[in-house]
Amino acid sequence: MLKAVILIGGPQKGTRFRPLSFEVPKPLFPVAGVPMLQHHIEACAKVPNMKEILLIGFYQPNEELTRFLMNAQQEFKISIRYLQEYAALGTGGGIYHFRDQIVSGSPEAFFVLNADVSSAFPLTEMLSFQKEHGEPNSFVILGTTANRKQSMNYGCIVENEETNEVLHYVEKPSTFVSDIINCGIYLFNPDIFQHIGAVFQKNQQDMLLEEPTNGWHRAEAIRLEQDIFTALAGQGKLYVYKTLSFWSQIKSAGSAIYASRLYLNQYHKTHPERLASNKEGGPKISGNVYIHPTANIDPTAMLGPNVSIGTGVTIGAGVRVRESIILHGANLQDHCCVLNSIVGWDSTIGRWARVEGTPSDPNPNDPYAKIDSETLFRDGKLTPSITILGKCALTSNESCIPHMNW
């Protein structure tokens, strides 16, 4: 029996995703037409012998999250539960706090996935790899290759090239360590809790030497990457499975559009029915485009590549949309042009208006380049990035190039 745990974080996380995360919890933001979390759940539900999926985070339960979980359970015919942390406990602290729930039913292994990544999620391949490498009780990190400069923004893995054992692990090093980076997707067995428990006990002892200020929370706040992987490296228990398929973080609005492109491209294999095609009486489709069935689109509009159209969207005559996400209820009036942008819920783009953001794609000439998740501000100035329009109306004598607006 297998289980999966998805770490969804909480409202004080994901500040680089603002203002989009003000309106909806970040894990439910639509990427390629479905909530970000649904891509993870779909992948987990496909793994043979998967019995339960647990979401761990510190969002307050709300109607939107509850409705999503009910719909996902019905669609994927699998138990999905949300476990709310009392505070942000870190990637290791969260699973340790709910360890009894995870090991209930005696699963032989469980996956842990960070919600803010987009990936082909090669979970069955990780299972096969785990059986072929190391001890039966070894742990597996999903890794990929980055270029030298960008690798220092991630957890870096030094491996034994013959056995794939992790010999050394450093989270966001200040100098180059390795071009193999941590993808935030793991395969564990219940033995991992012994290692996390040892860190918890050490934290408790350290707390006793200090003044008691919320000590329990501080003892339980444990990071898998810095506190566990660094110590496990070189002990014959931690291995890396390197994937050649796509992977990217989703930290900012720009990275959401890039992730949407990756998923739309994957739909050719996994969900061809989600991709729009050119039909008589329909809009002109160029490249990969998702259109929700409730959207109303004029046949003279041109959409794509990499466009996702949400529920109840209205798109007028002669409209051009490219490399953008149009969220539900938006109204794009005649002859407007939207490029590299996210048009927010119930926004209106006026006739002949032009909205253009600054693309934040990885370097196309570097096969190992990753997207840079920029902060909103740098040196006191707004960073040029994907344009975001939220609940506003942009008229025909206005243009938006290339600021962030909400």
- pLDDT for 316-326, tens place per residue? 999 999 999 99
Name the band, by pLDDT with cuts 50, 70 and 90, for residue 406.
very low
Looking at residue 262, its pLDDT comes to: 95
What is the CATH code of the structural domain delimited by 2-249?
3.90.550.10
Strands (E) located in 172-306: 180-188, 238-242, 247-249, 284-285, 289-291, 296-297, 302-303
Q: What's the average model confidence in pLDDT over 153-172?
A: 94
Name the CATH architecture for the domain at 278-401: 3 Solenoid (2.160)
Residue 331 to residue 289: CA distance in whole angstroms:
18
* Alpha-carbon torsion (123, 124, 127, 129), positive or negative: negative
Which two tokens mark 270? 């996994």
Residue 403 clears pLDDT 50, i.e. is over it: no
Token pair 């639509």: residue: 30
Question: Tell me, what's the pLDDT at 385?
Answer: 57
127-152: buried (b, 16+ CB within 10 Å) or exposed (e) per residue? bebbeeebeeebbbbbbbbbeeebbb
The structure tokens 């050490």 sit at 202
Residue 86: pLDDT band (50, 70, 90) is confident
* pLDDT tens figures, 199-255: 888 888 777 766 555 544 567 788 999 999 999 999 999 999 999 999 999 988 788
Q: Whole-number mean pLDDT of the chain?
A: 87
Terminal alpha carbon distance of the chain: 46
Q: How far is CA 281 from CA 284, 322, 330, 332, in A?
A: 9, 20, 22, 19
Convert the pLDDT of each residue in 332-378 to its tens digit.
Answer: 999 999 999 999 899 999 999 999 988 877 767 667 677 765 555 55
pTM: 0.89
Domain assignments of the chain as residue spans, ordered by start: 2-249, 278-401
